[in-house]
């Protein structure tokens, strides 16, 4: 068995340094444009900050992965190939891509640069993974968060491609970011403009006893003065249904696989990814540090591994909605 790599998010240079300093093996990031599925204002990297981040990571023996993981829009394919060119020119180690055309461009133009299949490609079978290896020479595939651990193991058994899975962070009820709700409400979605609930459509309306949060005029949630207001996404909003107001589609919850790390190692997962390029450097540091310790302990003594209370406590502090789940990895209805 090999120890899985710990792949951590960086939405800024400070977050990149926090990931590296707290034990990440790889750091993944994106450019300040819509080729990146976390294209939020105030986040991501320009050429100067990216060059500094690559230097910082490489000096400490870590790799930098660039997520060019949205789908190229009609008439603008050159924007996506330009991001691939930038990644190559700035010394990025890996490009993470979903669009087959962009994958083909990277394979043909930079055959020596590693290519990973993004989770946005929604490859859930070994046939899909092997197809992308045959056609585009991918070395790793990031699996969607809809598979049980047994299904992940089945994929690993039938492919030579490294398999990466998510281990911590926000969940999505959509098909890995292909959000029809966001598109319905705003005309834009994560796989087109790189942002779920684009900031230009978000409205905060403070009232004496509460605050309304809207997305393009649609009331998503209403918070009391004592509540922490979350960023408005339709799937995690509270709505009135049959006279009752509640989280009608998905209650904010974070995936956390810390208790099943020995099983993840046993089945041969190559890398564990932390979600959260839109989160703060403090979040990145806290999650990376505790998962690093847990992963090292699980690999050193899988049979006697136990989750330390301090790990669980620290991770619960940064869980979305302060709740955690094993997600589909422990799907009882399969």
Among 231, 247, 263, the domain boundary falls at 247
Q: Do both 261 and 230 map to the same domain?
A: no
Statement to judge: residues 280 and 143 lie in one domain: yes
Backbone angles phi, psi at 66, to 5 degrees: -105, 125
Residue 175: per-residue pLDDT: 67
Kindly state whether residues 53 and 139 are assigned to the same domain: yes
pLDDT at 334 exceeding the cut of 60: no
Rounded Cα gap, residues 266 and 261, in angstroms: 9
The confidence score (pLDDT) of residue 177 equals 64
Q: Specify the number of domains making up the chain.
A: 2
Mean pLDDT throughout 118-130?
95
Provide the 3-class DSSP secondary structure of residue 74.
coil
Q: What is the pLDDT of residue 131?
A: 98
Q: Give the domain range for residue 92.
A: 5-171+253-330
> Are 85 and 140 found together in one domain?
yes
- On the question of pLDDT at 209 being above 80, the answer is yes
Average pLDDT over residues 226-236: 82
Within this chain, do residues 112 and 25 fall inside the same structural domain, yes or no? yes
Taking the C-alpha atoms of residue 230 and residue 200, their distance in angstroms, rounded to an integer, is: 16
What's the rounded Cα separation, in Å, for the pair 197 and 192?
12
* Tokens, residue 245: 């107001």
**Considering the chain, what is the average pLDDT of its residues?**
92
Among 247, 271, 303, where does a domain finish?
Answer: 247
The pLDDT of residue 179 is: 76
**Domain final position from 226, 247, 268:** 247
188/321 same-domain check = no
**Statement: residue 214 has pLDDT above 80:** yes
List 97's β-bridge partners, or say none. Answer: 68, 117
Sign of CA dihedral 19, 25, 31, 37: negative
Q: What is the pLDDT of residues 126-143, one digit of tens each?
A: 999 999 999 999 999 999
71 and 140: one domain?
yes
- Mean pLDDT (whole number) for 76-102: 97
Model confidence, pTM: 0.91
Q: Is the separation of the CB atoms in 218 and 98 below 8 Å?
A: no
Chain segment 56-68, per-residue pLDDT in tens: 999 999 999 999 9
Which of 176 and 130 is assigned the larger pLDDT?
A: 130
**pLDDT score at 170:** 85
Q: What is the pLDDT of residue 256?
A: 95
Residue 118 has pLDDT above 90, yes or no: yes
d(CA 108, CA 282): 39
Handedness of CA 215, 242, 174, 179 (dihedral sign): negative
In DSSP notation, 81-143 reads HHHHHHHHHTT-SEEEE--HHHHHHHHHH-TTSEEEE-GGG---SHHHHHHHHHHH--SEEEP
CA distance 24 to 4: 11
| Span 268-279, pLDDT tens digits | 999 999 999 989
- Which of the pair, 250 or 124, is modelled with greater confidence? 124
CATH code of the domain in which 152 resides = 3.20.20.70
Q: What is the pLDDT of residue 184?
A: 87
Average pLDDT over residues 187-215: 87
Q: Tell me what pLDDT residue 251 has.
A: 81
Same domain assignment for residues 189 and 233:
yes
DSSP 284: H
Kindly give, in sequence order, each residue whose CB lies less than 8 Å from that of residue 11, ignoring residues fewer than 6 positions away: 29, 30, 38, 40, 43, 44, 276, 277, 278, 279
Say whether both 97 and 167 belong to one domain.
yes
25 and 114 belong to one structural domain: yes
For 6-49, the pLDDT digits (tens) are 999 999 999 999 999 999 999 999 999 999 988 888 889 999 99
In this predicted structure, which of 73-87, 205-219, 283-297 has the lowest mean pLDDT?
205-219
Confidence of residue 95 (pLDDT cuts 50, 70, 90): very high
Q: Is the same domain home to 237 and 126? A: no
In a shared domain, residues 167 and 205: no
Averaged pLDDT for residues 113-124? 95
Cα distances (Å, whole numbers) of residue 186 to 11, 75, 221: 24, 21, 17
Q: What are the pLDDT digits (tens) for 258-312?
A: 999 999 999 999 999 999 998 999 999 999 999 999 999 999 999 999 999 999 9
pLDDT band at 178 (very low <50, low <70, confident <90, very high): confident
Report how far apart, in Å, the C-alpha atoms of 21 and of each of 9, 51, 62, 147 are. Answer: 13, 18, 10, 31
Q: What is the mean pLDDT of residues 113-126?
A: 95
Mean pLDDT confidence for 301-328: 90
Q: Do 145 and 170 touch, CB atoms closer than 8 A?
A: no
């Amino acid at each position: 068995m090999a120890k899985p790599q710990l792949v951590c998010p960086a939405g800024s240079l400070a977050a990149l340094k926090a990931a590296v300093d707290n034990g990440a093996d790889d750091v993944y990031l994106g450019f300040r444009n819509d080729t990146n599925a976390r294209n939020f204002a105030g986040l991501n990297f320009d050429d100067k900050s990216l060059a500094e981040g690559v230097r910082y990571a490489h000096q400490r023996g870590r790799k930098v992965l660039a997520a060019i993981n949205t789908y190229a829009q009609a008439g603008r394919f050159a924007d996506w190939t330009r991001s691939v060119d930038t990644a190559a020119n700035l010394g990025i180690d890996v490009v993470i891509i979903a669009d087959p055309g962009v994958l083909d461009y990277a394979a043909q133009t930079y055959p020596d640069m590693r290519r990973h299949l993004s989770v946005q490609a929604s490859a859930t079978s070994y046939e899909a993974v092997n197809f992308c290896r045959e056609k585009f020479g991918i070395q790793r595939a990031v699996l969607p968060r809809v598979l049980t651990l047994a299904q992940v193991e089945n994929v690993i058994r039938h492919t030579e491609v490294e398999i990466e899975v998510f281990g911590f962070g926000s969940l999505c009820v959509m098909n890995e970011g292909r959000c029809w709700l966001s598109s319905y409400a705003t005309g834009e979605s994560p796989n087109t403009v790189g942002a779920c609930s684009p900031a230009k459509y978000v409205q905060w309306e403070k009232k004496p006893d509460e605050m309304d949060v809207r997305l393009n005029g649609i009331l998503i949630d209403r918070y009391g003065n004592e509540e922490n207001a979350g960023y408005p996404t339709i799937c995690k909003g509270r709505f009135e249904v049959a006279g009752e107001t509640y989280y009608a589609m998905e209650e904010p919850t974070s995936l956390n696989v810390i208790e099943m790390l020995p099983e993840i190692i046993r089945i041969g997962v190559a890398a564990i990814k932390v979600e959260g390029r839109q989160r703060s450097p403090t979040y990145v540091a806290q999650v990376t540090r505790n998962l690093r310790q847990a992963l090292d302990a699980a690999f050193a003594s899988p049979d006697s591994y136990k989750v330390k209370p301090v790990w669980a406590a620290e991770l619960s502090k940064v869980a979305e909605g302060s709740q955690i789940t094993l997600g589909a990895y422990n799907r009882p209805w399969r």
